[in-house]
Amino acid sequence: DVKVTQSSRYLVKRTGEKVFLECVQDMDHENMFWYRQDPGLGLRLIYFSYDVKMKEKGDIPEGYSVSREKKERFSLILESASTNQTSMYLCASSSPDRHETQYFGPGTRLLVL
């Protein structure tokens, strides 16, 4: 069965802290994605990766960076957390055909104080 896991369900951080969100998939998918979800705005793509050590900016990359050192793991990094980064963060993965189904993790709800 397909599985995408995220390191934390809930996180509380302080402004200025460096935050790491981890995502692991067990489907041997090449493609991995990070989204944030805010009320009324739907899901917005932050970064994505089509292969190890490869990354591409999504629609809202400012304030974020990513790391893909292994195929199964995609990390989202908030270099210096700010209150406007309080959100639900969702990781997803998909097969090499980029147009096909994405499989999502359960999400990490991040609160930045």
- Rounded to whole angstroms, the Cα distance separating 39 from 67 reads 27
Among 4, 24, 66, 76, contact with another protein (rule: CB under 8 A):
4
| Residue 61 near another protein by CB under 8 A | no
What is the nearest approach in angstroms of another protein to the Cβ of residue 107? 5
Site mask, another protein, residues 12-31, x = CB under 8 A? --------------------
Strand blocks (E) in the chain: 4-6, 10-13, 19-25, 31-38, 42-49, 56-57, 64-70, 73-78, 87-94, 102-104, 108-112
What token pair was written down for 102? Answer: 């994405």
| Residue 92 near another protein by CB under 8 A | yes
- Rounded to whole angstroms, the Cα distance separating 31 from 28 reads 9
Scanning 13-21, 65-73, 75-83, 84-92 for contacts with another protein by CB under 8 A, the matching segment is 84-92
- Rounded to whole angstroms, the Cα distance separating 41 from 6 reads 22
Among 20, 79, 98, 113, contact with another protein (rule: CB under 8 A):
98
Judged by the rule CB under 8 A, the positions of this chain that interact with another protein are 4, 33, 35, 40-45, 48, 58, 88, 90, 92, 98-107, 109
